[in-house]
Amino acid sequence: MEYQLRPQQPAVLQQQLRFTMHDFYRLKQKTKNTLSITLTDDTFNLVYQRLAQRIQQLKLKSFNAYYKYIEKNKEEISRLVNALTSTSSVFFDNPQLYDTINNSLLPSLLFNNPSHNLNIWSVGCGYGTEPYSMSISLFEQLPEAIYQRCKIIATDVNSFSITAAKRAIFNEETLVSLSQKQKCLYFYKGIGQQEMMYRVKSFIKQRIFFDTFNLMAHGPFCCNLDIIICRQQLVFFDQQNKLHILSKLLKSLNTGGYLIMDNHELQSIMATTNNPKAFLQSFNCQLIGESILQKK
């Protein structure tokens, strides 16, 4: 089985890259041994799509050449992890997500307890656009006193990504969804050779706590959480590990807390059971919409 880039893909990727099942299985073994990530066969195309641009950046001609490059350059593992697991590269990549949090989840969490401290976990935060977007959104939505009691935990398995996220410096392309007013309020604009770069202001940064974390780590996850955002982070785990991680995520929530997942990912997990109602009961939660689980 081979996969080649379709002509309608972006120009940067239009050079065809040969990707065979042999290439896929070697990457599969590498990620399993080093990262505890399982690449199932149905992720073949997704792996191609997420790694092709990195291979182009390195000016390599094939996935075989990329595998050899990884073997010789161990630091490339961090880049590999980031390419496979990062899902958000721009601020407010999913406006509907933030609308749902602001208009439905926050009122529910704060209605009976306005003095409640809000604890949010951004899982697989990549370079930080998701947690910084969340902090901006909360600042705009909540009174100052409540915003100051918010804590956003942002984690990623890739230490390279966490280091970059802590720097909080982004190019102009990542801010495409922000208004000019928002750019001025929440960022410092670079000057001279850095005029296309923006740095997040400290009052937005101070609500966020970055750290490396592997979802396959032993022991409990974070606890006393109100909202967990975990989008497209389970796609590379087998079904048994998906259920194991899902269980631990839900246990990390306070009663009434919310787990936000990718719609397709959650539905694919639930599709393995013939009784969705029993499935939800087994995890002591209810389904809100198509992609949110609320802990009972």
* pLDDT in the model for residue 86: 67
Collapsing DSSP to helix, strand or coil, 170 comes out as strand
pLDDT at residue 1, as a whole number: 42
**CA nearest 218: which of 25, 24, 36?**
36
Label residue 96 exposed, middle or buried (CB < 10 Å: 0-12, 13-18, 19+).
Answer: exposed
| Radius of gyration, alpha carbons of the chain | 20
197 strand-pairing partners: 171
Residue 200's contacts (CB-CB under 8 Å, 6 or more residues apart) are: 132, 168, 169, 170, 186, 187
pLDDT at 15: 47
pLDDT confidence of residue 237: 83
Element (H, E) at 144: helix 144-147
Q: Give the integer Cα–Cα distance in Å for 63 and 75.
A: 17
In whole angstroms, give the CA distance from residue 156 to residue 173: 22
- What span, in angstroms and rounded, lies between the C-alpha atoms of 141 and 119? 16
Nearest CA among 200, 167, 172, 196 for reference residue 185: 200
pLDDT of residue 88: 64
Q: How many Å apart are CA 253 and CA 251, to the nearest integer? A: 5
In degrees rounded to 5, what are phi and psi of residue 61? -100, -10
Distance spanning both ends of the chain, measured CA to CA: 45
For the chain, 296 residues long, give each residue's pLDDT as a single digit of tens: 443 333 333 333 434 788 999 999 999 998 888 776 778 888 888 899 889 988 988 999 899 999 999 999 988 987 887 788 766 689 999 999 999 999 999 999 998 777 789 999 999 998 999 999 999 999 999 999 999 999 999 999 888 889 999 999 999 999 999 999 999 999 999 999 999 999 999 999 999 999 999 898 887 788 999 999 999 888 888 888 899 999 999 999 999 999 999 988 898 888 888 888 899 999 999 999 999 999 99
